[in-house]
Structure 1
Amino acid sequence: MPLRTRELLRLLAAINSRLSGDVSLPVLAVWAHRSQFDLHRQFRRLVGETPKAYTTRVRLASAAAELVSTDRRVSAVAFDHGFASHEVFTRTFTRHFGHSPREYRTRGLHVAGRRTAAVHASTVGSTAPCISLYRISTAERKPAVPLDISVRDLSAFHALVMRRRVTRDEIATALAESLPTVFGYAQRHGLTITGPPFARYPEVGMGSLVIEGGITVAAPPSAALDDGIEALAIPAGRAVVALHRGPYDCLPESYQEIERWMRDQGLSAAAAPWETYLTDPGERPDPATWETEIVQPVR
């Protein structure tokens, strides 16, 4: 029997709550009531990486955030993130980030400060586990729920994005590729991550659309970016903001409700809309609890 999305999310929640403990494949197979072979195959199909690669990546991301936001000893950080020894941690960390833990800490974040470091660490901790699962389909629909819609004045922000032209059915796949790439680039280069992942839609057509998947950063990078990753600056301005509660599959209905609300208020779009994924699916496995903020700049 295939591993259902809800079962996978519950398993990820269990893994993420025990990342300093034993989350090896035999243990996960017992939790999931499946054979090791079957779990390995289905986990990779749904998450895009093996259970071992997943747990190692999430542990390293969290450890890297702690290194630049605290003064704790490297050996203590290694132990608290499930690594058996300082040597194993250093070797694995260096292979993943291109710097040893001490070098990574010494370089620090590109925007220094205790407050920004704390924001960065908190954001990484809540984002890394399911960076490839935002917009995942659960094949669930919900009855229409009135949105919380308001008009706000938003501040300018900086972001890193990857741009793709896709069909509507390919949005989740595009984000599963772009968000981990952008997130990983930001962490490797010590960029200060300041908010959850988002997707922006600069062009929407009948057959396809352009999607920009990325993360917000405290300041634009000073070095040249890798191929496919772009710096984005969103200016301050007035926008309609709505909070969508529920599965990602129901987002189109929320966009339609926002359009109707704007017409009633005599507002028109002034720039591309975007959606920010406020809830980590691996922390809250029930899609009914997921929150997505939709922003439409207006004039």
Structure 2
Amino acid sequence: MPSPLQRLLPLLVQLADGEERTSLAELSRLDGRSATHLQRVFQATIGESPLQFERRVRLQRAALSLALTGSSILEIALDAGFDSHEGFTRAFRRHFGCSPGELRRRVSQHRGRHAPFSESAPPTTTTPGPPADRRLAHRIAPCVGLYRAPLYSEPNTKRSHSRRGDVTMDYEIEKKSIEKTGFLYQRRDVAPDQLAQAFGEIFGAVFQHAISNGLELAGRPTARYPKFGPGLITVEAGMPIAGEIAPAQGFEVGHLGGCTVAATHHLGPYDALGEAHQAVERWIAEEGEEVAGYPCEIYVTDPGEEPDPGKWLTEVHWPLVE
């Protein structure tokens, strides 16, 4: 049966993308459950209240706008739903441990040492960034800890791993070169049913550290899998970073890419991702290729921004021997 998450997805989009603040009463009206019950389900499923979720998402996106655009701090504050520069600065400092101005200076210092990444590259002047940069500020943030969250609380034999809804997926595999980027991540051994919770904790911590220290995000949230097992999965989850990454307590530093991979796209809920990996493995065997590293997943779609799980896009990469 569908998990509580599936019913909450439209509310997450409303909270994340609404032009104005959304009250609990309005969410209750949209959802059809009492405000008290909805608050309890939301807290248990998402790990924070609707108000906490909305404020965190707005602050994270404001931080990315500071890093990726030349908009003034006041413009960013108003866009994030704050009434004043002062109120925004107080909330921002509580969340990130520095003021908006300090964050922008750190980003500028980091960018002065390293060239920006190519896709929708952040502006290097103080002029407002182009629309592509503003869209990137909304797309790239791990605004909600729902990556790899299952939609179905119990296995359903009618849904094979190769299905997206009721449509069987055909995976197209391609061999391509991936540019090398830095990777800031945490490594954990987790039970399969705890993967989504671990990702929520890890992506949140990595994002917070990267933004607070002026690091430049270079791509979407990514996870590598050094080891699959029936009881535990070893995962390295984090964010691609442009330029040099200084060592920091509680985090590991490495790199992504710089190699050739067998790649495919999975469109649909995370419950079916296993079939995408199996399709790549079969292709590798049929083509006589050899695996040269750990498989990884790149979470292109933020579940908190797209209420239709059938449109969640994930890239699957398996490194190959050159």
Q: Which residue of 2 aligns with 1:177?
A: 201
Counterpart in the other structure of 1:145: 169
Distance 2:56 2:227 in 1: 33
Once the 2 structures are TM-superposed, how far is the Cα of residue 206 of structure 1 from its aligned partner? 4.2
* Pairing partner for 2:282 from 256, 260, 281: 260
Residue 237 of structure 1, aligned match among 240, 259, 276: 259
Cα distance in 2 between the residues matched to 1:248 and 1:164: 19
More off after superposition, 56-65 vs 136-145:
136-145
Q: Is the 8 A contact 1:269 1:296 kept in 2?
A: yes
| CA-CA distance at 1:264 after TM superposition | 0.8
Q: Does 1:74 align with 2:73?
A: yes
Give the distance between the partners of 2:138 and 2:99, measured in 1 at CA.
20
Change (3 A) 1:108 1:146: same
Pairwise CA distance, 1:263: 1.0
Change (3 A) 1:238 1:3: closer
Q: Distance in 2 between matches of 1:32 and 1:3?
A: 15
Determine the structure 2 residue equivalent to 1:27: 26
* Counterpart AA for 2:151: T
Confirm or deny that 1:186 pairs with 2:186. Answer: no
Structure 1 counterpart SS, 2:231: coil
Letter in structure 1 aligned against 2:181: F
1:16 corresponds in structure 2 to 16
CA contact (8 A) 1:123 1:193 kept: no
The answer to whether 1:219 aligns with 2:243 is: yes
Unaligned runs of 5+ in 1: none
Identity of aligned residues (%): 36
Counterpart secondary structure, 1:7: helix
Distance change (3 Å), C-alpha of 1:156 and 1:72: closer
1:246-285 maps to which residues of 2 (within 5 A)? 246-285=268-307
Equivalent position of 1:296 in the other structure: 318
Please say which of residues 94-103 and 265-274 is displaced more in the overlay.
Answer: 94-103
Q: Are 1:165 and 1:209, in contact at CA under 8 Å, matched by a contact in 2?
A: yes
Cα distance in 2 between the residues matched to 1:116 and 1:188? 17
Q: Which shifted more, 7-16 or 97-106?
A: 97-106
Structure 2 unaligned blocks of 5 or more = 124-128
Q: Distance in 1 between matches of 2:173 and 2:95?
A: 42
Asked whether the 8 Å contact 1:63–1:78 carries over to 2, the reply is: yes
Question: What letter matches 2:59 in structure 1?
Answer: L
Aligned residues: 295
- SS of the equivalent of 2:220 reads coil
Q: CA shift at 1:265, angstroms? A: 0.7
Q: Which runs of 4+ in 1 moved over 6 A?
A: none
CA contact (8 A) 1:153 1:239 kept: yes
Bigger shift: 96-105 or 114-123? Answer: 114-123
Say whether 1:116 aligns with 2:122.
yes
1:52, distance to aligned residue in structure 2 (A): 1.3
Q: Normalized against structure 1, the TM-score is what?
A: 0.91
TM-score, length-normalised on structure 2? 0.84
